[in-house]
C-alpha cells in the first residue's frame, strides 16, 4: 500500500508563530510611548515643571489604583459607555437607513443629499448651544449629540458602499428574478459590508469623541466630567487618569471592531 503523504488531504488549522517582521512592528509601536513615559519621569523627577502642573508617574499610578479600588473610575466609565451605546445605536440605525435609501433611490438622493451634506458640515459640538435651548442639558442632549456623531459617517459610507456594488452582480440578480428585497438582502448589502463597517468604525469614534465633548460642557458624571472636575480642583493626576481611561476605551472599541470586520470578511482572503 502506498504511503500517504503528510501534506495530502484536508489539513486542519495549524498554529503558526508570529513572524519576525510582525514582532518587530509590534515592538516598534512601543518605542514612542516608552520614550514619552521616560521623558515624563525625568521631567517630574528633576522638577522641570511644578508637581501641580506635571504630577509624577508614580503619583498618577497611585491615583489610578485608588480610583479603581474605590470604583470611581469604573463608575464614570460605565456611565460614558452606556451613553455611547444608546446614542451610537440610534445614530447608526438612522444613518444606515438613510444611506440605504439614498443609495437605492436617485430621487431620494436628489432631494436629501444636498441638505444632508450641509448638515454634516456643521461640527457635532456646534449643535450643542441650540440643542441646550431645545432639550436642556439632561441625558437627551447627550444622546442626540452622540447619535449625530454616528449618523453622518454611517450614512455616507453606506451610501458609497451601495453605489459601488458591481452592476454585474445586480444583473445576476435580475437574471435570477430576485425580488427587490432579495436583491437588497443577498447582493447589495453584502457587497456594501466593507464600507458599512468603515462607517461603523468612524461612527463609533465620532460618537466617543462627541460624548467626551458634551460631558465636558454639560454633565455631572462620566469621563468628560472627571476631566472638568479635575481641572477645576487642580487635580492633574485625576485629569491624566481620566485621559488614559478615555484613550484605552476608545482603542479597545476600535480594535474590537477591526477584529470583527476581519473575521466577517475572511472570505476576501480567497480573492487574492
DSSP letters along 223-248, please? HHHHHHHHHHTT-HHHHHHHHHHHHH
Q: Is the pLDDT of residue 74 over 80?
A: yes
Separation CA 213–CA 235 (nearest Å):
19
Separation CA 197–CA 263 (nearest Å):
12
pLDDT, mean of residues 139-162: 90
Please count the helices (runs of H) and the strands (runs of E) in the chain. 13, 0
Task: Identify the H or E element spanning 31.
Answer: helix 31-45
| Angle (nearest 5°) at CA 262 between 256 and 263 | 90
pLDDT digits (tens, 9 = 90+) for 99-144: 988 888 888 888 888 888 888 888 887 888 888 888 888 888 889 9
Range from 49-58, 95-104, 147-156, 217-226 carrying the lowest mean pLDDT = 49-58
pLDDT computed for residue 2 by the predictor: 43
Range from 29-33, 54-58, 95-99, 204-208 carrying the lowest mean pLDDT = 29-33
Separation CA 159–CA 161 (nearest Å):
5
pLDDT digits (tens, 9 = 90+) for 78-95: 999 999 999 999 999 999
Q: Is the pLDDT of residue 213 over 70?
A: yes
Domain boundaries, the chain: 57-262
Which numeric CATH code is attached to 57-262? Answer: 1.10.3720.10
What phi and psi, each to the nearest 5 degrees, are found at residue 30?
A: -90, -10
Nearest by Cα to 241 from 265, 256, 223 = 223
What phi and psi, each to the nearest 5 degrees, are found at residue 76?
A: -65, -35
Separation CA 121–CA 129 (nearest Å):
16
Amino acid at each position: 500500500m502506498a504511503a500517504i503523504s503528510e501534506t495530502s488531504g484536508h489539513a486542519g488549522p495549524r498554529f503558526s508563530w508570529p513572524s519576525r517582521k510582525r514582532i518587530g512592528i509590534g515592538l516598534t509601536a512601543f518605542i514612542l510611548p516608552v520614550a514619552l513615559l521616560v521623558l515624563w519621569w525625568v521631567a517630574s523627577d528633576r522638577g522641570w515643571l511644578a508637581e501641580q502642573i506635571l504630577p509624577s508617574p508614580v503619583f498618577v499610578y497611585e491615583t489610578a489604583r485608588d480610583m479603581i479600588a474605590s470604583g470611581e473610575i469604573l463608575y464614570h466609565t460605565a456611565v460614558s459607555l452606556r451613553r455611547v451605546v444608546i446614542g451610537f445605536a440610534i445614530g447608526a440605525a438612522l444613518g444606515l437607513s438613510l444611506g440605504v435609501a439614498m443609495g437605492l433611490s436617485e430621487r431620494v438622493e436628489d432631494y436629501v443629499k444636498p441638505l444632508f451634506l450641509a448638515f454634516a458640515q456643521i461640527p457635532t459640538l456646534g449643535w450643542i448651544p441650540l440643542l441646550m435651548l431645545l432639550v436642556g442639558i439632561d441625558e437627551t442632549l447627550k444622546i442626540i449629540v452622540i447619535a449625530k456623531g454616528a449618523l453622518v459617517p454611517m450614512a455616507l459610507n453606506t451610501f458609497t458602499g451601495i453605489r459601488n456594488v458591481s452592476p454585474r452582480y445586480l444583473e445576476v440578480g435580475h437574471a435570477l428574478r430576485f425580488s427587490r428585497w432579495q436583491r437588497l438582502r443577498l447582493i447589495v448589502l453584502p457587497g456594501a459590508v466593507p464600507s458599512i463597517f468603515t462607517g461603523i468604525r468612524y461612527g463609533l469614534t465620532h460618537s466617543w469623541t462627541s460624548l467626551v465633548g458634551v460631558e465636558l460642557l454639560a454633565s455631572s458624571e462620566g469621563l468628560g466630567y472627571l476631566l472638568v472636575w479635575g481641572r477645576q480642583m487642580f487635580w492633574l493626576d485625576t485629569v491624566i487618569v481620566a485621559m488614559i481611561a478615555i484613550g484605552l476605551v476608545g482603542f479597545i472599541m476600535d480594535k474590537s471592531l477591526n477584529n470583527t470586520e476581519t473575521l466577517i470578511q475572511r472570505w476576501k482572503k480567497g480573492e487574492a
